[in-house]
């Protein structure tokens, strides 16, 4: 709407901004021992992008989302969403955001359409407004055919899409998605990914938390890696991968007897770096600086020496490599907190439903 007022309103530089956020939980039944779920957390999300918040179980992702979505109060630092201060004006922030997550807020007794219409009425769209908005969203999220079926019969992917649709009732500027594909099969994940892409094409900013490196890689233009309540890296997926090192060349020898010769050829382009040989897979690999030059040179020298190869190629480092390098542990790892203080003694992943309920 190009009213004079909205024209003079400048779009905030960041859709989400967090500076030094701190959130402490008092561990229950442990004599007041505190746990810093957020420990000076920084985040800057550009408008109109998908920003990935990537971290293992217990890293602080849900806490960050709940604080930014004004569902939890924070203990230190500052945060802004859509240019509005989260601590000072939580109600204004709430009017600009949507939230959807791992535990879809879908009423099983209703159809998809009824679910959306109910939310619309809840948000004061009126009967007609709610009906119209439900129709638009069913279309947008590919649920037209299933619209009048009971949500009980929906697949996991359809349920999450319905949840996404309900979080979009008020056309929020910023949408928080907390592990929207956890527990879905590959097809369901693909469906949710398409829905997220469509949202961003429509101008919504998405903050997406995930434990899945490939998901952040596929969807996000920018990734913040969170570990122990702190941002430990913040970059584009490609830059994060480059930080781990350049591309790797991989050669699979046709004959195990040629492995040493293949290793010598690879060594010449590895620039003094480590050349690894795996006898069981007949694979030789090494990091290279100039990918194309390395590939051409190795291919030529193997051909000159008449060494048969089964496969030769370049591999980009995966985000798994990134995580391992940054944190010293894999993305799926579950750890005790940095300071060694016990929380509730149960693995973080399994207690999430309970904690969510307790915190609400
Ligand atoms: N309500 C709570 N009370 C006490 N500790 C909590 C509570 N919620 C989360 N935590 C702890 O805070 C840390 C971060 O949790 P969370 O934000 O849920 O991480 P993630 O979403 O990345 O798995 C974990 O160590 C978790 O055990
Ligand atoms: Mg979580």
As given in the structure block, the two tokens for residue 129 are 């407004």
* Probe target for ligand 1 pocket from 27, 29, 30, 35, with the most ligand atoms within 8 Å of CB: 35
**Closest atom of ligand 1 to CA, residue 179:** 21
- Spatial neighbors of 49 by CB under 8 A, at least 6 apart, are 15, 200, 205, 206, 220, 221, 222
- Spatial neighbors of 269 by CB under 8 A, at least 6 apart, are 249, 286, 288, 293, 294, 297, 298
Q: Is the CB of 266 under 6 A from ligand 1?
A: no
pLDDT in tens, 288-336: 888 889 999 999 999 999 999 999 999 877 666 676 677 766 555 444 3
pTM of this structure: 0.74
Q: Is the CB of 358 under 6 A from ligand 1?
A: yes
- Residue 201: which H helix or E strand, with range? helix 186-201
Q: For ligand 1, atom 11, which residue shows the shortest CA distance?
A: 37
Q: For ligand 1, atom 12, which residue shows the shortest CA distance?
A: 37
Q: Strand 174-178 to strand 205-210: parallel, antiparallel, or no bridges (unpaired)?
A: parallel
pLDDT at 8: 40
Q: How many CB atoms lie within 10 A of CB 29?
A: 8
Q: Is the CB of 176 under 6 A from ligand 1?
A: no
For residue 109, the 8-state DSSP code is T
Q: Which domains does the chain have, with CATH numbers?
A: 47-73+90-241 (3.40.50.300), 247-316 (3.30.70.100)
Extended beta strands in the chain, E state? 16-26, 34-45, 50-54, 76-81, 84-85, 97-101, 174-178, 205-210, 222-227, 230-235, 248-253, 275-278, 283-287, 309-315
pLDDT in tens, 120-135: 998 889 999 999 999 9
pLDDT at 106: 86
Alpha helix segments (H runs only) across 220-313: 237-244, 259-267, 291-304
| Residues in the chain where the model's pLDDT stays below 70 | 1-10, 28-32, 102-104, 244-245, 318-321, 323-324, 328-360
Q: For ligand 1, atom 18, which residue shows the shortest CA distance?
A: 62
pLDDT at 84: 97
- 153 burial level (CB within 10 Å; 0-12, 13-18, 19+): exposed
Dihedral of the alpha carbons of 164, 167, 171, 175, in degrees to the nearest 10: -80
Phi, psi at 167, each rounded to 5°: -75, -10
The Å distance, Cα 246 to ligand 2 centre, comes to: 32
Task: Report, in angstroms and rounded to the nearest whole number, the Rg of the chain calculated over CA atoms.
Answer: 24
Contact 121, 130 (CB under 8 A): yes
Instruction: Please tell me the total number of residues recorded for the chain in this structure.
Output: 360
Query: Is residue 67 helix, strand or coil?
Result: helix
Exposure b/e, 310-347, CB count within 10 A at least 16 = b:
eebeeebbebebbbbebbeeebeeeeebeeeeebbeee
Q: Is the CB of 354 under 6 A from ligand 1?
A: no
Q: Is the CB of 172 under 6 A from ligand 1?
A: no
């Amino acid at each position: 709407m190009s009213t004079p007022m909205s024209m003079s309103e400048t779009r905030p530089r960041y859709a989400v901004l967090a500076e030094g956020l701190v959130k402490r939980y008092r561990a229950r039944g442990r004599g007041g021992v505190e746990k810093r779920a957020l420990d000076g957390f920084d985040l800057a999300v550009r408008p109109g992008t998908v920003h990935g918040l990537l971290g293992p179980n217990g890293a602080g992702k849900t806490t960050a989302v709940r604080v930014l979505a004004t569902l939890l109060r924070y203990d230190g630092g500052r945060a802004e969403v859509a240019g509005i201060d989260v601590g000072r004006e939580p109600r204004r922030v709430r009017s600009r955001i949507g939230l959807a997550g791992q535990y879809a807020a879908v009423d099983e007794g209703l159809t998809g359409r009824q679910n959306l219409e109910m939310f619309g009425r809840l948000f004061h769209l009126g009967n007609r407004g709610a009906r119209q908005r439900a129709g638009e969203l069913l279309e947008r999220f590919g649920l037209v055919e299933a619209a009048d079926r009971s949500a009980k019969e929906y697949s996991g992917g359809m349920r999450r899409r319905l949840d996404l649709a309900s979080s979009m009732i008020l056309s929020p500027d910023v949408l928080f998605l907390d592990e929207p594909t956890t527990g879905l099969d590959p097809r369901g994940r693909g469906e949710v990914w398409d829905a997220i892409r469509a949202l961003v094409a429509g101008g919504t900013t998405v903050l997406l938390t995930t434990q899945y490196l490939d998901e952040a890689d596929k969807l996000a233009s920018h990734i913040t890696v969170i570990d122990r309540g702190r941002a430990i890296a913040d970059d584009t997926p490609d830059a994060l991968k480059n930080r781990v090192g350049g591309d790797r060349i991989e050669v699979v020898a046709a004959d195990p007897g040629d492995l040493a010769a293949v290793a010598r050829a690879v060594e010449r382009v590895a620039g003094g770096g480590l050349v690894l040989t795996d006898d069981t897979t007949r694979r030789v690999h090494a990091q290279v600086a100039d990918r194309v030059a390395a590939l051409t040179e190795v291919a030529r020298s193997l051909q000159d020496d008449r060494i048969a190869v089964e496969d030769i190629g370049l591999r980009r480092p995966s985000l798994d490599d990134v995580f391992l390098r940054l944190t010293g542990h894999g993305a799926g790892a579950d750890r005790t907190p940095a300071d060694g203080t016990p929380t509730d003694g149960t693995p973080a992943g399994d207690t999430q439903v309970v904690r969510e309920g307790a915190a609400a």
